[in-house]
């Protein structure tokens, strides 16, 4: 969108910001973490397979209560190697709800990246135009300073000729000094804006320099009205909407915790007294079967988790509504501001023409 200004310097700055801005890199890192969390939640669909191998030596003692004497048992040696597998059947949709929540978080993070990219692009453009405006202000103040210096000299000549008073000379000198102070402040403002632009580009302020042009491109025309459907393209609104969906999915996860978990487990391996006999057929051991586990009492932990999930839905919904209202306000404010600036520009243009006529009269005098 910034190509509407037809400024190749701005185009180059935008390319640098997209490649090196640290806020954008942070948002991309969060998106990567959200993708990893989605992969982790999807892994619950699949069974878990494990392997084990162990060798133990043990000895226990036995005592005779009647004689109060103890006998020491021989040392027992055991070698074990095997495989284990477990799989939770998603009967109540707990895993599916977790996957939906992770998918919504990924979509929200992707929209956060788009919002951050838009924010960086807008900040680069605004800071760049502010730099150019500061340069134009510096050039204007330099011309004003030269004019006030000439006016000061003319007032001194008129004072020596007896046509002006010493108060006129002091006033002309004061005007010249005031513009000089404004020129120093404009120089400082331009330097600070250049530093801010360097940070947006991911560079140290001391190593960044922008050539001075003092040229501002003409602004493109804005439509008087915009369709409300354009707000759906705003990534901050889309991200807030996805977070509402993620919060609703978390409610499903919390509700599934009230139901028992049905899992299927299996194990197979070999167990023998010596490693040499481990892989023999008589040493084969195995187990297979389903399991149903339910929590009978947890002190209200599941109810608290459900209440927390419901509160999360309320928070996400309120945040979504507030984001939409803020977007409507920003659009309305900028449309009003754009129209006001156009009228202000027309008034300034007329004021410049009037000032030029007044200047011609004063110069003739």
Give one word for 280, left, alpha or beta, with left for phi > 0 and alpha for psi -120 to 50.
beta
Indicate if the pLDDT at residue 221 is higher than 80.
no
Indicate if the pLDDT at residue 39 is higher than 80.
yes
* Whole-angstrom distance, CA of residue 124 vs CA of residue 79: 68
Q: How many CB atoms lie within 10 A of CB 316?
A: 22
Q: Which residue in the block uniquely carries the two structure tokens 């487990």?
A: 265
> Each residue of 310-340: pLDDT tens digit?
999 999 999 999 999 999 899 889 888 888 9
Closest CA to 253 of 103, 93, 37, 108: 93
CA dihedral for 98, 100, 102, 105, sign (positive or negative): negative
Closest CA to 128 of 5, 281, 308: 5
> Each residue of 167-220: pLDDT tens digit?
989 998 999 999 999 999 999 999 999 999 999 999 999 999 999 998 888 888
* Whole-angstrom distance, CA of residue 89 vs CA of residue 94: 10
DSSP 15: H
What confidence category does residue 232 fall into, taking pLDDT thresholds of 50, 70 and 90? confident
Q: How many CB atoms lie within 10 A of CB 97?
A: 21
- The pLDDT > 70 percentage for the chain reads 92
End-to-end CA distance of the chain: 51
DSSP 282: G
CA dihedral for 37, 41, 42, 44, sign (positive or negative): positive
Q: Are 31 and 106 in contact (CB under 8 A)?
A: yes
Write out the two tokens for 252: 């499903």
Give the pLDDT confidence score for residue 163 in this predicted structure: 84
- The arithmetic mean of pLDDT across residues 137-149, rounded, is 91
* Whole-angstrom distance, CA of residue 96 vs CA of residue 164: 90
* Whole-angstrom distance, CA of residue 211 vs CA of residue 99: 52
158 contacts: CB under 8 Å, gap ≥ 6:
164, 168
- The pLDDT > 90 percentage for the chain reads 55
123 contacts: CB under 8 Å, gap ≥ 6:
200
Q: How many CB atoms lie within 10 A of CB 210?
A: 16
Indicate if the pLDDT at residue 241 is higher than 70.
yes
Write out the two tokens for 157: 């000549």
* Whole-angstrom distance, CA of residue 53 vs CA of residue 271: 10
Give the pLDDT confidence score for residue 365 in this predicted structure: 84
Q: Do the bridges between strand 284-293 and strand 76-89 make them parallel or antiparallel, or are there none, so unpaired?
A: unpaired
What confidence category does residue 251 fall into, taking pLDDT thresholds of 50, 70 and 90? very high
* Whole-angstrom distance, CA of residue 289 vs CA of residue 312: 38
Q: Which residue in the block uniquely carries the two structure tokens 């036995």?
A: 62
* Whole-angstrom distance, CA of residue 167 vs CA of residue 147: 19
Write out the two tokens for 80: 């074990």
DSSP string of 200-266?
Answer: HTTS-GGG---------PPPPP--S---GGGGGG-HHHHHHHHHHHHHHHHHHHHHHTTSPEEEEEE
- The arithmetic mean of pLDDT across residues 19-47, rounded, is 93
């Amino acid at each position: 969108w910034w190509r509407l200004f037809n400024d190749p310097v701005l185009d180059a700055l935008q390319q640098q910001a997209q490649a090196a801005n640290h806020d954008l890199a942070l948002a991309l890192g969060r998106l990567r973490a959200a993708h990893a969390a989605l992969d982790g939640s999807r892994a619950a669909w699949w069974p878990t397979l494990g392997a084990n191998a162990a060798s133990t030596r043990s000895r226990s003692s036995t005592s005779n209560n009647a004689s109060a004497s103890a006998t020491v048992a021989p040392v027992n040696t055991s070698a074990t190697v095997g495989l284990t597998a477990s799989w939770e059947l998603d009967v109540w949709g707990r895993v599916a709800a977790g996957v939906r929540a992770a998918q919504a978080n990924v979509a929200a993070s992707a929209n956060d990246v788009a919002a951050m990219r838009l924010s960086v692009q807008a900040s680069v453009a605004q800071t760049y135009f502010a730099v150019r405006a500061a340069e134009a202000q510096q050039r204007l103040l330099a011309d004003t300073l030269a004019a006030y210096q000439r006016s000061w000299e003319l007032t001194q000549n008129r004072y020596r000729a007896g046509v002006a008073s010493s108060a006129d000379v002091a006033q002309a000198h004061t005007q010249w000094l005031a513009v000089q102070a404004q020129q120093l402040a404009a120089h400082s403002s331009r330097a600070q804006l250049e530093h801010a632009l360097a940070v947006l580009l991911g560079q140290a302020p001391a190593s960044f320099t922008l050539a001075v042009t003092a040229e501002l491109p003409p602004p493109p025309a804005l439509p008087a009205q915009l369709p409300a459907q354009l707000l759906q393209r705003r990534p901050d609104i889309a991200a807030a909407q996805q977070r509402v969906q993620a919060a609703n999915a978390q409610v499903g996860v919390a509700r599934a915790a009230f139901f028992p978990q049905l899992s299927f487990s299996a194990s197979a391996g070999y167990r023998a007294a010596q490693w040499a006999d481990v892989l023999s057929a008589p040493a084969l051991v195995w187990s297979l079967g389903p399991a149903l586990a339910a929590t009978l009492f947890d002190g209200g932990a599941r109810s608290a988790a459900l209440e927390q999930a419901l509160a999360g839905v309320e928070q996400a919904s309120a945040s979504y509504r507030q984001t939409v209202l803020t977007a409507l306000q920003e659009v309305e404010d900028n449309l009003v501001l754009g129209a006001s600036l156009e009228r202000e520009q027309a008034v300034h243009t007329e004021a410049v023409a009037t000032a030029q006529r007044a200047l011609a009269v004063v110069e003739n005098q």
